[in-house]
Amino acid sequence: MSQTTGAARSFSGPAWAEGLRRALPITLGYVPVGFAFGVLAVKNGIPAGLAVAMAVLMFSGSGQFVFASLWGGGAGILSTAAAVGIVNLRYLLMSAAESPWLSRLPRAQRFLLGLGLTDETFAVHITALQEGWTLNAATMYVCNSTTHLSWVGGCAIGAFCGNLVNDVRPLGLDYAITAMFLALLVPQCASRLHVLVAVFTGALSVALKAGGMSQWNVAVATVAGASLGLALSLRARRGAPEEAA
């Protein structure tokens, strides 16, 4: 897939405004999901301060939920670290997907952007880059920082005020992150190939989970789906007539 789909497009307003625009739909999902994590963490015996520190330093929604569940279940340190590491393997694929664009930035800037990489920030940034928007590090920093602050804020509210809520499921907060993922996925399905890869990956992940696979199901399904998409894309290019220079 080419890096752009047409002529380069520039932001009409300031970079920070575009960053906030990208961050807005993500923050609407992060606050309630972060609240749910804060409640779960405290109920599993994690001190409120440590739960907030995890949000600041770890910034991994699924990883934090896995950590809280294993902590509450009495799992060992090594098994907990391994499980969280497996869940977060997908960030390697996301980093590889962004690298063709971010490689032109200084190493220090790429490092800072990597600290704010999540499923949601990756989705909005990669979509903008693929649509031909000019790379703007300030926009990406503002978006990443805003979403991170909203996540920390939601976790803090849940951790320190979660004792007022016995169960987050009646509030629908347990579905917030799923709804957010769906909202970010749909705009990226711009072709039949994207739809095929998305459906295949989702179905495979569910099938692996139903078959008894633990936290590996997401990573395995993601690699398989990306491999299928690459194979079909290369096959289509070989079958297409050569374009004029």
Mark whether 235 and 123 lie in a shared domain.
no
5 in a structural domain: no
Q: Are residues 235 and 169 in the same domain?
A: no
Q: Is residue 8 part of a domain?
A: no
Give the separation between CA 122 and CA 55, rounded to whole angstroms. 18
In a domain, 184, yes or no: no
- 6 within a domain of the structure (yes/no): no
Domain membership of residue 26 (yes or no) is yes
Residues 133 and 34 both lie in one domain: yes
Angstrom distance (rounded) from CA 34 to CA 161:
12
* Segment 107-158, tens digit of pLDDT: 999 999 988 999 889 988 988 888 888 888 999 999 999 999 999 999 999 9
- pTM score, two decimals? 0.69
Amino acid sitting at position 121 = T
Q: Give the dihedral of Cα atoms 144, 148, 151, 155; nearest 10 deg.
A: 170
Q: Which domain holds residue 107?
A: 15-177
Indicate whether 99 and 52 sit together in one domain.
yes
3-state DSSP percent of the chain in helix, strand and coil, to 5: 75, 0, 25
User: Does residue 130 share a domain with residue 109?
Assistant: yes
In 3D space, the residue among 203, 205, 196, 204 whose CA is nearest the CA of residue 236 turns out to be 196
63 shares its domain with 119 = yes
Q: What is the pLDDT of residue 225?
A: 87
Among the listed residues 194, 179, 156, the one whose alpha carbon sits nearest the alpha carbon of residue 25:
179
Do the domain assignments include residue 183?
no
In angstroms, the Cα distances linking 137 to 10, 15, 28 are 13, 9, 23
Is residue 10 situated within a structural domain?
A: no
Domain check: are 47 and 134 in the same one?
A: yes
| Residue ranges of the chain whose pLDDT lies below 70 | 1-12, 165-181, 183-184, 187-188, 215, 240-245
Single out the residue in 177, 202, 224 at which a domain terminates. Answer: 177
- 60 and 171 belong to one structural domain: yes
Structural domains of the chain, count: 2
